[in-house]
Structure 1
Amino acid sequence: MSKFGELIDVEIPVLFDFFTEWNEPSKAMHAVLRDVAAALGDKAKVIKIDVEKNQELSEALRVKGLPTLIIYKNGEMKWRQSGEQDANTLIGIVQQFV
């Protein structure tokens, strides 16, 4: 979990995607997140976290529904939502924190 602290304690927004490979909505978000990362470039980071490989972190953050999307900036959670989002919506949300 100490690595997670390093990931979120940065001055640019970090969008986390908590997912599993067997969850269809999670898989549908892969292409969307690729588009979001490409559109934002170095203004933000997009990091995917497999809940099955990171159960302790997922439990600590109370991740229940998949996919769960969370934005952190300067170590602070700024936004969180479960469920699918389209690329334009996510880009707009992340840009609020750039």
Structure 2
Amino acid sequence: MEQKIRSQSMSHKENISLANDENFAGKVSHGVTLVDFYADWCGPCRMLTPVIHEVADQLHDKAKFIKVDVDASQKIAAQFQVMSIPTLVLIKDGHEVGRLVGLRDAKTIRHFVESHCNS
């Protein structure tokens, strides 16, 4: 059981990366990327984390998943006009193609991402 938890934790780290003001553009310039704008102090953001991990594990071959701390990366949060967190922004080839605000379930997020993977 401990190995399974450890391997799940490792896959989450591989499937979700952190982005900041310096490396954000390079992470979203090609392909489909779901950006999770969050803050450590945000309760709904913490509740969304395992949901994002679940979707990232399911769709890691179709899209990239990154997290942006709005407190540490205020420039990116302002650029995307993030007014409420959690905010999920879907980016395709560097351009925003969709947005979800607030806590959502895995099915909703998965369909949201998949709808832009083949278009």
Q: Which bin holds the TM-score, normalised by the shorter protein?
A: over 0.9
Select the structure with the greater relative contact order (CA < 8 A; seq sep ≥ 6): 1
1:75 equivalent in structure 2? 94
Question: Runs of at least 4 residues of structure 1 off by over 3 A?
Answer: none
Instruction: Determine the C-alpha separation between the residues in 2 that align with 1:10 and 1:57.
Output: 17
2:25 aligns to what? Answer: 5
- Tell me, in whole angstroms, the C-alpha distance in 1 between the residues paired with 2:42 and 2:60: 27
| Alignment deviations for residues 35-55 of structure 1 (CA, whole Å, 9 cap, x no partner) | 010110221111111101101
Q: Percent identity?
A: 32
TM-score for both structures, normalised by structure 2 = 0.77
- Tell me how far apart the structure 1 counterparts of residues 51 and 60 of structure 2 sit (CA, whole Å): 14
Task: Compute the RMSD of aligned alpha carbons.
Answer: 1.1
* Correspondence for 1:91 among 105, 110, 113: 110
Which ranges of structure 2 fall in alignment gaps of 5 or more residues?
1-20
Gaps (5+ residues) in structure 1?
A: none
TM norm structure 1: 0.92
